[in-house]
């Protein structure tokens, strides 16, 4: 049974039992404590914790998950996988243990012909918490499991909590006996390879207190509402139903493993180290596909770093298996074909996904060539005879900072050579770098408090009524004032504080649009609005500077958005949609937005694309955008269910999470149809004009365009016009000939520079011959000195070339530096330019054995004397 069919049957079973089927949430988690959704219950956590009212009493889902804590173990064991799918059914105060047990058992044991999984009931074992007599009785009496196949286990194994005070409860797990070929007899406590866990039923009925670990905490009492949270590992059920040994051999992963084996000429099952690498490739290619599919792009921070890491581990594993060329073009399409039956959007969006992945591989192959050689050299030193077998922190940091070599990869490669890396020192250097970077860049947002203070405001006063789409002014009440995260009774002139209103017309920064500017006014005070954010869902917070009087908490506030600011912001945001649509019109649907930013008069848009845009393509994009403005395309805003928005092709920003009801902004109907909460013009002509100002790379497979809109576009074009007019006047040429005239001048300048260089070389050669003729012989070593105000290194090289092919030294003094050069015979005789300079200059200076330099000595004559003495000493010792 294919994994997609396992998924379909699970959802159909619970839908028939009255559960609302919920789509998988995107892998990037809304929870600020998580990078990715790592368990099936994560999207339902607010309902399970009582923080929000669930829209349904029963739900079921198959949730995409990513866990990276054990990433180094991936492939080394067959239990660990980075990406997996968790099938779950949930009850929010509806049914409890009896129904949960019945629903699980009926699906697992029902015949395949009747929509079940058809597992043999005689091979299923159950575990329960040691004191959970109710669950024990259900498995024994209702289901009919014999007592010898029901195992009581302790708190560490069969009692669930989140690790912090809150809901908790006993759990019951189901195991399947795969037979003696997989291990010893005796149940899950004896061998969990033979007895494979595939389902966990959590009976969430208690509240836990403070404590540590899995067992050291008190259970405080019953919860007011009892919930069910169950999870069936989709891949584990596929292992059982496909009768394979592990998750690397199911239909969604084995084809990728086989493709990697074919690409590298290896055979799975023949060599243990090869098998580990093939499993790494199979897991990581699938994980990368799913992450990029959900909008993650490679970067050096957070989620993007996780993606970069798994991609690079996969690419390196293929290289270690013997394949030197690009690998992902052969492997990623296989992963797509495996996963598309469950996630068809992977097929429709594959151009975007593959562009990002292939670009990252191409960049990393360059990184391996550059940084790999440096790392190999460092490791050769560290694992040599008598070496300390520890790679220094500054070496690891240089590899990361200069060559983009991830620390995890450095540690992994070093471990293969038996060398330890000073990771703590590396982290200290990274922290110092971040501190330096941030020291002089205290952004305006630093005035915002932690979310705890805002949640308290939300709990006490309720959500902010947001009026940004309706009006530019509002009469409001200052329900809270926060000074550095602490509630304050008032704020006086000159202070910068955070103010929460019960209602606001101000747009809070989101969706790439910068927040509104404006003012607060009230009895006895005025304030300037500096920034507007949404620190927690439902609340809008304003950072303000009190410009006069005193603002007390609870005061009436007349909130006014700067109309000019909002007009410019609307033009820029609508302009972003227009540029996006123009890019897709010119380049095709693969040019999909991956991020944006806009403020009044300015926009930038990042999109998936490999390679720069030619000047002709840029001009075409700009023309398509401005034609849309000229046609005065209508701008329409509609609210609809998320599923309907997807049906009509509304584009969503990958990585963003949307509510069930979404706002769809259309410009010219289907020409530009996107999910967006920003402010927009009513007709495209109100944007004024759009002028593209820049296009650049912002990472592998990602480009960025920048543009100005409205009056700023007019000003930009006016400056360009004035520049061309000025050049035309200086060149005494028609405007349409300016570019050709400037190109001709540039060519003439290059020719003149080459001629000057040639003449200078002739002069230097003549001067060098004269200097070489005045050389001194020091025990068989020719020594020549010179003084110049121009290029001392060039003169030193010419003098050295003019000296005889015996050991020779040239010293050239300038007002700034002393340069010493030694020829090949001189170095073979034991002379070193660096040693000579450092000795003469008392340790100051640097360079190599051939050429070195240092600050010009105060007494050049004395320096010549010291050099003469040193060279004579070295020459006489030969």
Angstrom CA distances, 207 to 50, 210, 632, stand at 12, 10, 60
pLDDT of residue 378: 72
List, in sequence order, the alpha helices (H) in 588-734: 615-630, 642-647, 710-731
- Residue 655 pLDDT > 60, yes or no? no
From 119-123, 220-224, 663-667, 748-752, the region with the lowest mean pLDDT: 220-224
| Per-residue pLDDT band at 387 (split at 50, 70, 90) | very low
Residue closest to 282 by CA, chosen among 79, 471, 75, 457: 75
| Measured torsion, CA atoms of residues 91, 68, 82, 306, in degrees rounded to the nearest 10 | 110
Question: CA 868, CA 687: separation in Å to the nearest integer?
Answer: 76
pLDDT tier for residue 198 given thresholds of 50, 70 and 90: very high
User: Whole-number mean pLDDT of the chain?
Assistant: 88
Residue 281 pLDDT > 80: yes
Band of the pLDDT at 442, cuts 50, 70, 90? Answer: very low
Fold exhibited by the domain 566-719:
3.30.980
Residue 25: pLDDT over 70? yes
Summarised one tens digit per residue, pLDDT across range 829-874 is 888 998 898 888 877 777 778 898 888 888 889 999 999 988 888 8
Q: 638 with 664: CB under 8 angstroms?
A: yes
Provide the pLDDT confidence category of residue 592 given band limits of 50, 70 and 90.
confident
> How far is 175 from 766, CA to CA, in rounded Å?
90
Give the relative orientation of helices 393-403 and 407-416 as an angle to the nearest 10 degrees: 130
Q: Hey, which of 50-54, 144-148, 507-511 has the most confident mean pLDDT?
A: 144-148
Rounded Cα gap, residues 513 and 49, in angstroms: 33
Q: How confident is the model at residue 877 (pLDDT cuts 50, 70, 90)?
A: low
Answer whether residue 363 shows pLDDT above 90. Answer: no
DSSP state of 857: P
Spatial separation of the C-alpha atoms in residues 294 and 86, rounded to whole Å: 17
- Which range (367-371, 458-462, 735-739, 778-782) has the least confidence? 367-371
Residue written as token pair 């050291």: 216
Strand bridging mode 817-822 / 851-855? antiparallel
Does 445-561 match 765-876 in CATH topology? no
Could you tell me where the DSSP H helices lie in 648-791? 710-731, 738-773
Q: What are phi and psi of 374, to 5 degrees?
A: -65, -45
Q: Is 587 helix (H, G, I), strand (E, B) or coil?
A: helix
pLDDT the model gives residue 211: 83
Give the model's pLDDT for residue 409: 74
Q: What is the mean pLDDT of residues 484-490?
A: 90
Of residues 432 and 797, which shows the higher confidence score? 797
Q: d(Cα 323, Cα 62) in Å, to the nearest integer? A: 36
d(CA 161, CA 110): 31
Q: Say whether pLDDT at 598 is over 90.
A: yes
Domain 765-876: assigned CATH number = 3.10.310.40
Predicted pLDDT of residue 444: 38
CATH of 445-561, one of 3.40.50.2300, 3.30.110.70, 2.40.30.130, 3.30.950.10: 2.40.30.130
Name the pairing type of β-strands 496-501 and 159-161. Answer: unpaired
Q: Residue 758: which residues within 8 A CB-CB, separation 6 or more? A: none
Residue ranges of domains in the chain? 3-249, 254-439, 445-561, 566-719, 765-876
Name the binding residues for Zn(2+).
573, 577, 676, 680
**Comparing C-alpha atoms, which of 830, 818, 824 is closest to residue 779?**
830
Does the structure show a pLDDT above 70 at 323? yes
For 780, other C-beta atoms within 10 Å of its C-beta total 12
CATH superfamily label, 3-249: Bira Bifunctional Protein; Domain 2 (3.30.930.10)
Residue 663 has pLDDT above 80, yes or no: yes
Question: Among residues of the chain, what percentage have pLDDT more than 70?
Answer: 94
DSSP bridge partners of 201: 172, 230
- CA end-to-end span of the chain, whole Å? 83
Per-residue pLDDT tens for 720-764?
Answer: 889 988 988 988 888 888 888 888 998 999 999 899 888 888 888
């Amino acid at each position: 049974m294919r994994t997609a069919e396992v998924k379909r049957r699970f959802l159909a079973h619970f839908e028939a039992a009255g559960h609302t089927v919920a789509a998988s949430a995107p892998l990037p988690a809304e929870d600020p404590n998580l990078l990715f959704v790592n368990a099936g219950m994560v999207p339902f956590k607010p309902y399970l914790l009582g923080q929000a009212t669930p829209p349904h009493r029963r739900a079921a889902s198959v949730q995409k998950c990513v866990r990276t804590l054990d990433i180094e173990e991936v492939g080394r064991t067959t239990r660990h996988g980075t990406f997996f799918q968790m099938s779950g059914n949930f009850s929010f105060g509806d049914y409890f243990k009896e129904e949960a047990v019945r629903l699980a058992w009926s699906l697992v044991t029902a015949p395949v012909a009747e929509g079940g999984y058809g597992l043999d009931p005689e091979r299923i074992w159950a575990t329960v918490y040691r004191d959970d007599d109710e669950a024990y009785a259900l498995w024994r009496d209702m289901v009919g499991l014999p007592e010898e196949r029901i195992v009581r286990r302790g708190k560490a194994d069969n009692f669930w909590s989140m690790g912090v005070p809150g809901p908790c409860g006993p759990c019951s797990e189901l195991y399947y006996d795969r037979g003696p070929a997989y291990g010893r007899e005796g149940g899950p406590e004896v061998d969990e390879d033979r007895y494979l866990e595939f389902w966990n039923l959590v009976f969430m009925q208690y509240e836990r207190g403070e404590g540590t670990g899995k067992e050291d905490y008190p259970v405080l009492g019953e919860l007011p509402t009892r919930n069910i949270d169950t999870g069936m590992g989709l891949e584990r059920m596929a292992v059982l139903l496909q009768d394979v040994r592990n998750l690397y051999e199911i239909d969604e992963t084995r084809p990728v493993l086989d493709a990697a084996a074919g690409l590298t000429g290896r055979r799975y099952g023949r060599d243990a180290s090869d098998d580990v690498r093939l499993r790494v490739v199979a897991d990581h290619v699938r994980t990368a596909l799913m992450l990029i599919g959900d909008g993650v792009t490679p970067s050096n921070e957070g989620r993007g770093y996780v993606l970069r890491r798994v991609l690079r581990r996969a690419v390196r594993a293929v290289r270690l298996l013997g394949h030197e060329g690009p690998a992902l073009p052969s492997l990623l399409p296989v992963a797509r074909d495996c996963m598309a039956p469950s996630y068809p959007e992977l097929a429709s969006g594959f151009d975007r996904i593959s562009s990002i992945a292939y670009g990252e591989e191409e960049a990393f192959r360059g990184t391996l060539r550059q940084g790999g050689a440096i790392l190999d050299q460092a490791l050769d030193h560290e694992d040599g005879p008598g070496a300390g077998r520890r790679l220094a922190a500054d070496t690891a940091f240089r590899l990361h900072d200069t060559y983009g070599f991830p620390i995890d990869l450095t540690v992994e490669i070093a471990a293969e050579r038996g060398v330890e890396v000073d990771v703590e020192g590396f982290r200290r250097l990274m922290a110092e770098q971040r501190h330096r970077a941030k020291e002089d860049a205290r952004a305006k947002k630093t005035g915002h408090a932690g979310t705890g203070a805002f949640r308290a405001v939300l709990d006490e006063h309720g959500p902010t009524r947001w009026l940004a789409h309706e009006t530019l002014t509002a009469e409001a009440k200052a329900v809270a004032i926060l000074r550095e995260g602490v509630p304050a009774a008032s704020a006086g002139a000159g202070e910068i504080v955070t103010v929460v209103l019960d209602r606001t017309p101000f747009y809070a920064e989101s969706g790439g649009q910068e927040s509104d500017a404006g003012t607060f006014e009230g009895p006895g005070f005025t304030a300037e609005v500096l920034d507007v954010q949404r620190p927690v869902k439902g609340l809008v917070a304003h950072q303000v500077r009190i410009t006069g009087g005193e603002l007390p908490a609870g005061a009436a506030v007349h909130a006014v958005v700067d109309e000019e600011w909002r007009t410019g912001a609307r033009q820029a945001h609508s302009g972003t949609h227009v540029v996006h649509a123009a890019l897709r019109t010119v380049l095709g649907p693969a040019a999909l937005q991956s991020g944006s930013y806009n403020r009044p008069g300015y926009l930038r848009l990042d999109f998936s694309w490999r390679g720069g845009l030619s000047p002709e393509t840029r001009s075409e994009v700009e023309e398509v955008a401005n034609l849309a403005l000229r046609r005065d395309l209508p701008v329409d805003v509609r609210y609809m269910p998320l599923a309907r928005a997807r049906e009509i092709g509304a584009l969503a920003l990958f990585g963003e999470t949307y509510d069930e009801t979404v706002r769809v902004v259309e410009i010219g109907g289907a020409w530009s149809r996107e999910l967006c909460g920003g402010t927009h013009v009513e007709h495209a002509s109100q944007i004024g004009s759009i002028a593209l100002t820049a296009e650049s790379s912002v990472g592998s497979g990602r480009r960025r365009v920048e543009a100005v809109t409205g009056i700023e576009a007019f000003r930009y074009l006016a400056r360009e016009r004035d520049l061309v007019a000025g050049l035309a006047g200086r060149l005494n040429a028609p405007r349409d000939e300016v570019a050709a005239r400037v190109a001709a001048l540039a060519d003439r300048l290059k020719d003149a520079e080459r001629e000057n260089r040639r003449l200078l070389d002739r002069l230097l050669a003549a001067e060098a011959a004269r200097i070489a003729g005045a050389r001194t012989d020091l025990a068989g070593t020719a020594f020549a000195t010179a003084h110049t105000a121009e290029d001392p290194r060039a003169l030193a090289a010419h003098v050295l070339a003019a000296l005889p092919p015996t050991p020779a030294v040239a010293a050239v003094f300038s007002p700034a530096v002393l340069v010493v050069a030694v020829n090949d015979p001189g170095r073979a005789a034991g002379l070193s330019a660096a040693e000579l300079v450092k000795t003469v200059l008392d340790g100051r200076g640097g360079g190599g054995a051939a050429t070195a330099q240092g600050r010009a000595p105060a007494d050049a004559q004395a320096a010549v004397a010291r050099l003469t003495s040193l060279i004579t000493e070295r020459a006489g010792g030969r």
